[in-house]
Amino acid sequence: MHELEHLPTFQSRGKAIGFFVAGVVLCAVGFLTNSAGFLPAYLFSYLFWIGAAVGSLGLMLLINLTGGGWGAVIYRLLTAGAKTLPLMAVLFLPILFGMRDLYEWASPEALAHDELLQAKAGYLNPTFFVLRTVVYFAFWLGATVVVLKAVGRWDAGERGLRPAVRGFSGFAMWMLAYSVTFASVDWSMSLEPHWYSTIFGMKAFVSMGLITFAAMIVGLRFLLRFPGVDRFATEERIHDLGKLLFGFTNLWAYMSFAQLIIIWSGNLPELNIWYIKRSLNGWNAVGVILIVFHFGLPFLILLSRYSKQRIEILSLLALWLLVMQLVDQFYQVIPVFRPGLSVTLTDVLVPLGMGALWIGGVLWSLHGRRVLVPHDDLVPRGAH
């Protein structure tokens, strides 16, 4: 604990305001550039960045549950990521207001002429959709508050909290899996209400984990600029994070392939349509890019122990995987609204703007905090 007291604190309030301003400006320019394509771009951007916020909560729960020493050097970053959930709740409002333009089942005209939508209307209706969204955020925010109370007590020097925190984290992790599954179905899969995948929710859960691990590794690269952090972010701990990034990359590929092979073997028209739409008019090129650059290239690089131990290499690869995850969200959402592959300026500006808002929220939360959290005996183990 004595060593932690001498670590520096974040002074990031001014930078946070700068990111907030940049985010608003980028989103506004994206809207003015292409107002018709703004909502689809906003949706795929939101699905990416909410993954970093909810994933931060999930990894905090995982660290509390397992006591993994690898979590010592990223726990403060995770707390800041989870604290952006109120911001993400506010950023969901444009999706609610644009629901009829985004979701076919929310349009009375489409509902009146589609028997399948009418059969699903008991679940897919605007009122129930809003209610479920409120429940998701209520749970995520409530779980974050409980964990952050423990973090405050750790910061104050209190010890022996792990048994109680572990018990809560086990229950919360279980509930998190359910909430992420239903949220992914509501916000993403229901864009094409005639299609369904039983593995879609698990793939979304894995994607959130991959996004968060990648974001935390990039954040750790900047964290190492603070004096004294390198005593805790040892080569062994960086190697642990590299192995976890490798595992989640492989798991993402497995989930993606499992969804494809299940639908291909079933050969049902109502399921095949998702892949048929994404194999025509240039969209097949995006699928090839994901196979080669989201899985193939990172797989080969992360096979090397050397690559997993060097934060310089690992952070660059993590940044690349973040870009690929954004492409994956683009691939899932935009074909619903465009029959042919095209990338507009709005598709670039909006995710950058929302990312600036999220980073601004992280920096605002970090201001005045020590760079590491004294998580019971986790930091000593991480240092050892």
Summarised one tens digit per residue, pLDDT across range 72-99 is: 889 999 999 999 999 999 999 999 999 9
Pseudo-torsion of CA 148, 153, 154, 158, nearest 10°?
-160
CA–CA distance, 254 with 295 (Å, rounded to integer):
10
In which element (H, E) is residue 285 found? helix 283-289
Q: What is the pTM of this model?
A: 0.95
Lowest-pLDDT range, 70-84, 160-174, 219-233, 337-351?
Answer: 160-174
> Total domain count for the chain?
1
DSSP tag of 10 = B
Q: Which domain holds residue 182?
A: 2-383
How far is it, in rounded angstroms, from Cα 118 to Cα 232? 57
pLDDT above 90 for 304: yes
142 pLDDT more than 60: yes
Residues whose CB falls within 8 Å of the CB of residue 285, separated by 6 or more in sequence, listed in order? 341
Say yes or no to pLDDT of 294 above 80: yes
Would you state the pLDDT for residue 202?
A: 95
**Average pLDDT score, the chain:** 92
Q: Which residues pair with 10 in a beta bridge?
A: 367
pLDDT value at residue 383: 45
In this structure, of 161-170, 271-280, 292-301, the range with the lowest mean pLDDT score is: 161-170
- Above 60 in pLDDT, residue 29? yes
Give the model's confidence band at 27: pLDDT under 50 very low, under 70 low, under 90 confident, else very high.
Answer: very high
Alpha-carbon distance of 200 to 311, in angstroms, equals: 32
pLDDT at residue 92 in the model? 98
- The two tokens of residue 82 are 């989870």
pLDDT band at 384 (very low <50, low <70, confident <90, very high): very low
Residue 2: which pLDDT band, with cuts at 50, 70 and 90?
A: low
CA angle, residues 288, 290, 292, in degrees to nearest 5:
70
Locate 5 and state its tokens.
């007291």
Question: What is the C-alpha separation between 165 and 150, in angstroms, rounded?
Answer: 7
Judged against a pLDDT cut of 70, whether residue 5 lies above it is answered with no
Instruction: Reduce the DSSP state of residue 9 to 3 states and report it.
Output: strand
